[in-house]
Structure formats: C-alpha cells, structure tokens
Amino acid sequence: MADGKHTNAPSSEAPVFIRRGVPPLRRGFPARGAMLAGRGGRGGPGGPGVGRMNPDAPWNYTGDEREPGLVDFLQAKESTIRGDPDAVLDAIWEYKQHVGHFMIVGKSKAQGVEKLIRERKPKLILELGAYVGYSAVYFAKLLPEMFPNAIYPSKWTSENAADENRVGYVSIEKMDNFAQIAGKVVDLAGLSRVVKIINGSSTPVLKSLRETLNMPLPAAFDMIFIDHHKPLYTNDLKVLEDEGLIGKGTCIIADNVIMPGNPAYLSYIRATPAAKRLSASKGILDYPPATFHPSCATKAEWQSGFRDGPLEETRWVPPDSEGVVGMGNPELVYEGWMLDDGNEQGGWDACEVSVCKGEVGDGV
Ligand SMILES: C[S@@+](CC[C@H](N)C(=O)[O-])C[C@H]1O[C@@H](n2cnc3c(N)ncnc32)[C@H](O)[C@@H]1O
C-alpha cells in the first residue's frame, strides 16, 4: 500500500510478498540482541533482549533496587505530584535519568500511542506488562478526559456487564512486586478507579479474562498494548483471537518489534489468512524456533517485509504460556504500519500497529 501501510487481506495474496530489495532474512544472522544485552539494552538482565536470543528462556527479571527506589523517589515528591498524572510521569522520567536503563516505553512511541488514542477514542484498553505503571498512567490518563461520565473498573459489576458506558484500562503484570509498585504509581496519579491491574501470568489470565471482567460476548478490547515477554507476543495474540477479545476495530500496538525485535510476531500478524490456515492445520511445534534478525534491513524493508517470514516458527509455544496454547483465528484481516521511535535510544525501534478490519467474508 502506497501510504506505508500493509494488509493481510486475501486480495493481497496474489503477488504475495513485498520483499523487493530486502536482504535475505537468513537464519543465523548475527543477532543484535547480543550487543544489546552487553550494553544493558532495554531488556535488562534476563529481559526481553535475552528472550529474543533464546526464545526458550523464561522471563527472569525479578527486579533490583531500581523499582523500590522509584517508589521512595516519588513518595519524596508526593505533596507536589499526587493526583497529577503528568507530574507523576515527569518524575518517573527524571528518575530514569538517574538510574540509566529503566524498561519503560520511550517518549516518542508513547506520544505516537497517545495520538492514536485521541484519534480512535478506545473505551476498553488492555496492556500486557505493567512494570512500574508508567505506560498505564501515560495512556489511562486520557480516558477520564475523553469519557468523563463513564463507568470505570472500580464500579464494574455483573449488573453493568453489557453497559456501553464501561471504560477502563486493564493491565496484566506477572511479577507480584512490579504489580504492587504499579498499583502505588497509578494511585499516586489519581487513576485507581480507571486502571485495573491484574497480577498474573498473561496467557492463563487472558484465557479467563472475559469471565474475570464480566465482559459478555461479543465485547472486545478497542486497543491492546503488548509490551511484556517478547517470545510470548504471538501465542498471547492467538489466545486473544481465540477468545474473541480482538474484533473489528481493535487496534493492537506491539512494542519493540525491531529492538530487541520480534520477527515471529510480525510474520504472524502480517500473514495472509490462507498462510495462517495452513500453518494452524499443522498443529504446534515441540521445539523452540531458530531466531533470525535482519538487522541490516532498512526501515522501509522492515515496514514491508515478513509477509513470508518464519510463520512456521510461530507454531511453537514458549514455556511462559504455562501450557495455554493459542490456535489463533486465521480469518482476521489486519491493516498495519510501524510507529517509529525516532532513534530515541540510539538505535531504531518501533511498535507494530495493527487494526483489525474484521473477518474474511465480512466484506473484507
Ligand atoms: C518492558 S516491561 C513493561 C513496561 C511498561 N509497559 C511501560 O512502558 O511502562 C515488561 C513487563 O512485562 C512483565 N512480564 C513479563 N512476562 C510476563 C507475563 N508472562 N505476563 C505478564 N507480564 C509479564 C515484566 O515483569 C515487566 O514488568
């Protein structure tokens, strides 16, 4: 598509893959994650950078002095920042400058997501990976502005389950300590009624999320921000599709698809329905995929590539899914593009944005 967008619509199946001039996406390509890990890349110890190098490795960053240090730092400023989300965000950014690496979403990508929220006005937003609550405060603060009279998660009950006036930001965080800190940060920002933090491992939590939130079918999320364990992105996306939590109009934003990178996720979300059907019919793989990372590709090549990426590898399910296997819905059609970070961290990174256009046969 001329505007830098791509789609997996069936009509795009004929000439198929947009790989003109793309260097071959080879297995065994020197992995940039190695350099990232060495210089304390975004993943931090045991973080997503390591996950990309070894997709079989579980998430193992349990925190250090930086996270409780943030709470002390914010509490020292409490009298001037309580109830003011922008002041809380500024204080967290200030703290990041002191501690160096701190795995919160970069400013330019956050601004890009904010723009999308203002344009699309999502009522129900889901986040995978809260960490200390920075992105939750950044994005959830927009909801009361846009929907001042909504029913927020603190008031969600089975009685108002189908009420269209329900608005909220739900964030899933695996680590108990991070979930607790995120809760404190959200409270300090005055957003406790807007944000619901669920402490648990994403894949099993997603499987029962409709029940947990009293969200009757066909309700789906309007926006999903994926920012947790990189090898889990694809299986969790498939579980969201299986559960009908992605529907026509859902906008999915997946962070760090370049650095540390997520070729498997890009391949799955960009693959045509026919390619996904074929892949799904083969069942799951019982060995971890080989990881490749075409670090020499240009921005334009990243944007248009992966239509014939390692779809086979997305049949493997990482151990962190805790036995919950997503099969995915091959019929869903997405329109996508990349949200650039403007080289903010000294190397290029981006979010993959994918808007669900509905199912094949629904006029798409
Ligand atoms: C990059 S950080 C999230 C940053 C946050 N979104 C922000 O920008 O402020 C990734 C988070 O995902 C969490 N995480 C890792 N695996 C997870 C899983 N299986 N389920 C839920 N959270 C997970 C980690 O504990 C970590 O807090």
Instruction: Give distance in angstroms: CA of 14 to centre of ligand 1.
Output: 38
- CB-CB neighbours of 361 under 10 Å: 10
Average pLDDT across the chain, whole number: 86
- Going from N- to C-terminal start, the domains of the chain cover 6-359
ipTM of the prediction: 1.00
Cβ neighbors of 339 (< 8 A, separation 6 or more) are 109, 112, 113, 116, 253, 350, 351, 352, 353
Q: Which atom of ligand 1 is nearest to the CA of 131?
A: 27
Nearest CA to ligand 1 atom 27: 131
Q: Which tokens belong to 328? A: 């995915």
Q: Find residue 340's DSSP bridge partners.
A: 350
Q: How far is the CA of 3 from the centre of ligand 1 (A)?
A: 32
Q: Is the peptide bond before 144 cis (omega within 30 degrees of 0)?
A: no
Q: Give mean pLDDT, residues 330-356.
A: 92
User: Does residue 249 or residue 314 have the better pLDDT?
Assistant: 249
Long-range pairs for 163-169 at CB < 8 Å and ≥24 separation?
A: 164/123, 166/123, 166/124, 167/123, 167/124, 167/143, 167/194, 168/123, 168/124, 168/125, 168/143, 168/194, 168/195, 168/196, 169/125, 169/127, 169/136, 169/139, 169/140, 169/143, 169/194, 169/195, 169/196
Chain CA centroid to CA 66, Å: 23
Taking a C-beta distance cutoff of 8 angstroms, is the pair 103, 133 a contact? no
Residue 67 alpha carbon to ligand 1 centre in Å: 13
Q: Which CATH number fits domain 6-359: 3.40.50.970, 3.40.50.920, 3.10.20.30, 3.40.50.150?
A: 3.40.50.150
Beta bridge partners of 285: 316
Over residues 206-234, the pLDDT tens digits come to: 999 999 999 999 999 999 999 999 999 99
